[in-house]
């Protein structure tokens, strides 16, 4: 028996090897991957690896990899700033002509044809990031919307501001001048008779991925795109989870937001979604009890003296970007409460950008998940 076949008689051991190689593909499909490299990662001979992979995944490793790449390509082709050649390279195809053939085989149309499909004219009173995840760049945006100073700071390249300061936070006349096909708003913010455009409503209190995103996609006839995106998100989050489980070993993590008037510990919704729901990281014990009572827990206001009640091995810190809050942050770091905090003693403090982390849409949550994983060292892949 050859060395790489040792311990493969156990079904559990075989499955672990196959899953390990599949996870690597999910996380690195943009790289140059060969059957030989994947087999080496699994500790198997190439021929044996292919047979076992197909047995457990019902498709060959190369077919599995190709499907991952095509799924990612479909999303990237919705972006106006990328050419077909750029998309091909981004998802791991060195030859754009081969990419076109594979894409056509899987979707029934050429990448260029897929890219030319008419773009809807959509106004985003809210849910701008949800629309961007669907490949739609709105023509009108309420610029006061949370999240537009972070990942989506480029919104003005394609859109005009239709926002006003007071409820309902949009100028209807400005919206109508854009002649939109659809208007995306929170529930009850607009009456259907106010515009001939399709009214796309989603509930701000619902889950941003599995409720809001699906509702918006369904209303726009883009259910397939939503499912493709969610599949990609789940594959990526699962891959990162597996790495973090090995690295973190159950260590806890908390999220602290500092403002001039008060400080907050965040839960598993805004800012905490990517950390606790996407990555499945461990909250401080006190926060874990809150999650048991309320599965969608926003945050709690605390005093600095209460910080030890949320003791954690790692701490993400979000500081409001103004001089007064920066001074408060400097003072906090000199306090004995701060210096005695476990994450501080271990040097596990990670300051992040408030604009990127306050956004609560699919793309921003994905970015927060990736950033948290990188800060915790989970993105380092052993070659």
Question: Per the CATH hierarchy, to which homologous superfamily does domain 122-220 belong?
Answer: Nitrogenase molybdenum iron protein domain (3.40.50.1980)
Q: Please tell me the distance from the alpha carbon of residue 272 to that of residue 357, in angstroms, as a whole number.
A: 9
| Length in residues, the chain | 383
Least confident of 2-16, 82-96, 302-316: 2-16
- Own/partner long-range contacts of 91-98 (Cβ < 8 Å, ≥24 apart): 91/29, 91/30, 92/29, 92/30, 92/31, 92/32, 92/33, 92/65, 93/69, 94/32
Question: pLDDT: is 311 or 81 the higher one?
Answer: 311
Give the model's confidence band at 8: pLDDT under 50 very low, under 70 low, under 90 confident, else very high.
very low
pLDDT at 82: 87
- pLDDT value of position 26: 86
Higher pLDDT, 316 or 150: 316
Closest CA to 365 of 113, 212, 206, 151: 151
Closest CA to 61 of 21, 31, 32, 89: 21
Given a cut of 50, whether residue 307 has pLDDT beyond it is: yes
Segment among 33-37, 121-125, 139-143, 190-194 with least mean pLDDT = 190-194
- CATH homologous superfamily, domain 14-116: Homeodomain-like (1.10.10.60)
Within 10 Å of residue 327's Cβ, how many Cβ atoms? 11
Per-residue pLDDT, 11: 60
Q: Which residues lie below 8 Å from residue 125, measured CB to CB, with a gap of 6+? A: 142, 145, 162, 163, 168, 169, 170, 175, 183, 184, 185, 186, 189, 190
The sheet that has 263-266: what strands, in order across it?
299-302, 263-266, 253-258, 314-319, 349-352
Q: What is the pTM of this model?
A: 0.69
State the burial class of residue 281 (Cβ atoms within 10 Å of its Cβ: 0-12, 13-18, 19+).
buried
At residue 134, what are phi and psi to the nearest 5 degrees? -90, 5
Is the model's pLDDT at 2 over the cut of 70? no
pLDDT band for position 193 (cuts 50, 70, 90): confident
Stretch among 244-253, 279-288, 321-330, 359-368 having the lowest mean pLDDT: 244-253
Q: What is the pLDDT of residue 10?
A: 60
**Whole-number pLDDT of residue 12:** 66
Percent of the chain with pLDDT over 70: 95
Give dist(CA 49, CA 38) in Å, integer. 8
pLDDT band at 117 (very low <50, low <70, confident <90, very high): confident
The whole-number average pLDDT for the span 354-378 is 92
Question: In angstroms, what CA-CA distances link 59 with 56, 74, 137?
Answer: 8, 21, 35
The C-alpha angle with vertex 232 and arms to 281 and 212, in degrees rounded to 5, equals: 80
Residue 341 C-alpha from the chain's centroid: 29
Question: Would you place residue 76 in the very low, low, confident or very high pLDDT band (cuts 50, 70, 90)?
Answer: confident
Strands of 198-202's sheet in order across: 160-161, 140-141, 122-124, 182-186, 198-202
Strand partners, 105: none
Q: How confident is the model at residue 74 (pLDDT cuts 50, 70, 90)?
A: confident
Q: For a pLDDT cut of 90, what percent of the chain falls above it?
A: 68
HSE at residue 24, side-chain half, CA atoms within 13 A, is: 22
Asked whether the predicted pLDDT for residue 380 surpasses 90, the reply is no
pLDDT (tens digit per residue) in 212-227: 999 999 888 788 899 9
Same fold, 14-116 and 122-220: no
Residues 230-376, CATH architecture: 3-Layer(aba) Sandwich (3.40)
pLDDT of residue 291: 94
- Give the model's confidence band at 6: pLDDT under 50 very low, under 70 low, under 90 confident, else very high: very low
Q: How many CA atoms lie within 13 A of 2 on its CB side?
A: 7
The ranges assigned to domains in the chain are: 14-116, 122-220, 230-376
Question: Strand 299-302 relative to strand 263-266: parallel, antiparallel, unpaired?
Answer: antiparallel
Q: Average pLDDT in the 233-242 region?
A: 94
Instruction: Tell me the CA distances in angstroms from 33 to 28, 40, 66, one per residue in order.
Output: 8, 11, 11
Task: Tell me 120's DSSP state.
Answer: P
Give the pLDDT confidence score for residue 121 in this predicted structure.
87
Sign of dihedral through CA atoms 271, 275, 279, 283? negative
Instruction: Tell me whether the omega of the peptide bond preceding residue 168 falls within 30 degrees of 0, making it cis.
Output: yes
Do 126 and 201 touch, CB atoms closer than 8 A?
Answer: no
């Amino acid at each position: 028996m050859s060395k790489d076949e040792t311990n493969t008689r156990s079904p559990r051991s075989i499955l672990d090897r196959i899953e390990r190689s599949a996870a690597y593909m999910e996380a690195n499909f943009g790289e140059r991957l060969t059957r030989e490299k994947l087999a080496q990662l699994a500790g198997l001979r190439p021929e044996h690896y292919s047979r076992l992979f197909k047995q457990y995944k019902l498709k060959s490793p190369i077919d599995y990899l190709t499907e991952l790449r095509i799924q990612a390509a479909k999303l990237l082709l919705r972006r106006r700033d990328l050419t077909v050649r750029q998309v091909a390279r981004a998802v791991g195809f060195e030859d754009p002509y081969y990419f076109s053939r594979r894409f056509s085989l899987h979707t029934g149309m050429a990448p260029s044809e897929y890219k030319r499909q008419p773009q809807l004219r959509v106004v985003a009173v809210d849910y701008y990031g949800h629309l961007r995840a669907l490949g739609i760049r709105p023509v009108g945006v309420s610029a006061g919307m949370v999240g537009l100073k972070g990942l989506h700071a480029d919104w003005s390249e394609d859109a005009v501001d239709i926002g006003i300061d007071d409820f309902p936070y949009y100028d209807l006349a400005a919206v109508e001048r854009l002649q939109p096909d659809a208007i995306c708003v929170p529930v009850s913010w607009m009456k259907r008779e106010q515009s001939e455009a399709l009214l796309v409503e989603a509930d701000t209190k619902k889950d941003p991925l599995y409720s809001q995103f699906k509702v918006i996609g369904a209303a726009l006839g883009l259910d397939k795109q939503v499912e493709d995106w969610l599949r990609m998100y789940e594959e990526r989050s699962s891959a990162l989870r597996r790495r973090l489980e090995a690295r973190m070993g159950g260590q806890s993590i908390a999220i602290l937001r500092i403002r001039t008037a008060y400080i907050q510990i965040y839960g598993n919704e805004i800012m905490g979604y990517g950390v606790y729901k996407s990555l499945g990281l461990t909250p401080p014990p006190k926060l874990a009890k809150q999650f048991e009572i309320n599965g969608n827990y926003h945050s709690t206001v605390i005093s600095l003296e209460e910080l030890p009640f949320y003791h954690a091995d790692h701490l993400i810190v979000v500081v409001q970007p103004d001089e007064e809050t920066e001074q408060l942050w400097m003072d906090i770091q000199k306090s004995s409460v701060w210096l005695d905090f476990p994450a501080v003693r271990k040097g596990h403090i990670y300051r992040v950008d408030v604009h990127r982390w306050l956004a609560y849409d699919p793309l921003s949550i994905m970015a927060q998940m990736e950033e948290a994983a990188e800060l915790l060292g989970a993105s380092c892949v052993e070659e």
